[in-house]
Amino acid sequence: MQVSVEQTGALERRMEVSVPSDRVEQAIDKRLQQVSRTAKLKGFRPGKVPLKVIRQQFGAQVRQEVVGDLMQSSFAEAVTQQKLSPATGPRIEPIAMAAGEDLKYRAVFEVFPEVALANVDGLEVTRPVADVAEADIDAMVENLRAQRPNFNDVERESINGDRVTMDFVGLLDGAEFEGSNGTDVVVQLGGGRMLAEFEAGIVGMKAGDERKIDVRYPDGYHNASLAGRTATFDVHMKKVEEKLLPDLDDAFCLEYGVTEGGIAQLRSEVADNMRRELESNVRARLRQQLLDKLLAANPVEVPKSLVDAQVREMQVDTARRMGAKDASQLPPPDSFVEPARRRVALGILVGELIKTRGIAIDRERVETRLADLAGSYPDPTAILKAYRQNADAMRQVENMVLEDQVVDYLLEHAKVTDQPTTFKEVMNFGA
């Protein structure tokens, strides 16, 4: 087999491969013999069809299949022979495929860059050091109270924070329009659910009041037919309720799963959760610093094909989280290029660290990660089974664990400076 390689870009290679015709014909003959054992043709017993007839009936199809298989297998042989590491599958362009001639084709692909890691020992990072103070626990308990408010009817005028129930009809140029009607619509004032002018217009209304409110839709409103136009709403206020936070009693504790120990036990469990969150956030900040420093110390050329694939994955993931229903709603790719390039570059560097530093997957950590993932579902046993039966899912879990192990390695060899701070500052980082 003859192979020639041309460098057509920083990482792109164009390789021409020539497979001897006798190898092609031998592979075709072997495949035809396999077909002859199971072929069913009228007038012949199974397995007794002459090879000449098999060739006449199936020769063209078998040749096509064999040539395709040979291009794939010979490509693998060729890159091994040339000591190349393709980043993605090749784009194969046939050159010669005629019967009796050598099989020739061109394969265009990108290779992984050669990486010589700079010294990763002594990366300088700052570790935030904070405690969970009583005031932090107080604030968290107040947040919990705010999540379980009670609402009582009032006769006074509505103010921000109240919950109101109303009917309304909107007119645009004297006619109703889509979304202009509402019956028994419940809104908490100040929550930003309605347009600001609408909310401002109903503040001060009491149960039984009626009011006309002019509302101008923003120029960039998502419904283009309404953007920049002003509608008039007839509003009938049916109910005004004030928000009252619940008392810190046993009933409140029960809402959060605390059956014994009352508020003291609730505060203890809240504090434990806050400490776990604090630890997780501190590690996340250290991880980001370490990977940023690793990338800065090791600028690396990345295969465009891998970046493009990562961009598509990030687009789809973002669209799914946004609830997009079709491809037309996918975010534009340009905004994902740099994050995708970073991910690919870090993937290459992390892989090199794993290889050169002999970091082996920690099976116990894999099991712990699996248990954590499954534990958030109603039937953890079924989820664990599903993960173990899905090779791609298991590979993702193992990659997460390996990356954690790389971060541990970098942290162990880093120069760490502790920086006193507060729980609030750590938790608000990047928010």
For residues 427 and 410, give the distance between their C-alpha atoms in angstroms, rounded to a whole number.
23
- 333 and 267 within one domain: yes
For residues 318 and 330, give the distance between their C-alpha atoms in angstroms, rounded to a whole number.
8
Chosen domain end from 190, 213, 244: 244
- CA angle at 314 for the pair 308 and 316, rounded to the nearest 5°: 105
- 383 and 326 within one domain: yes
Count of structural domains, the chain? 3
Mean per-residue pLDDT over the chain, rounded = 91
Chosen domain end from 244, 274, 295: 244
Structure tokens at 116: 């010589």
Mean pLDDT of 346-366: 94
What pLDDT does residue 393 have?
Answer: 92
- 26 and 91 within one domain: yes
- 409 and 351 within one domain: yes
- 288 and 237 within one domain: no
- 240 and 156 within one domain: yes
Which amino acid would we find at residue 105?
Y
- 310 and 348 within one domain: yes
Q: Which range among 68-82, 171-185, 284-298, 311-325 shows the weakest confidence by mean pLDDT?
A: 311-325
- 278 and 423 within one domain: yes
Angle between helices 304-322 and 337-356 (to 10 degrees): 120
**Which residues form the domain of 76?**
2-110
Residue 116 lies in a domain: no
- 268 and 231 within one domain: no
- 345 and 226 within one domain: no
Residue 254 lies in a domain: no
Whole-model pTM above 0.95?
no
Buried b (16+ CB within 10 A) or exposed e, 44-72: eeeeebeeeebbeebbeebbeebbeebbe
- Helix intervals (H) in 39-89: 51-81
Query: Which one, of 414, 286, 400, lies nearest residue 347 by Cα?
Result: 400
Residue 137 lies in a domain: no
- 286 and 355 within one domain: yes
Q: What is the dihedral of CA 334, 307, 88, 11, to 10 degrees?
A: 110
Which CATH number does the domain housing residue 105 bear?
3.30.70.1050
Structure tokens at 263: 């508020």
Mean pLDDT of 71-78: 95
CB 16 within 8 A of CB 105: yes
Residue 399 lies in a domain: yes
The model's pLDDT over 312-333, given as tens digits with 9 standing for 90+, comes to 888 888 887 777 666 566 777 8
The model's pLDDT over 142-188, given as tens digits with 9 standing for 90+, comes to 999 999 999 999 999 999 999 999 999 999 988 999 889 999 999 99
Chosen domain end from 184, 210, 244: 244
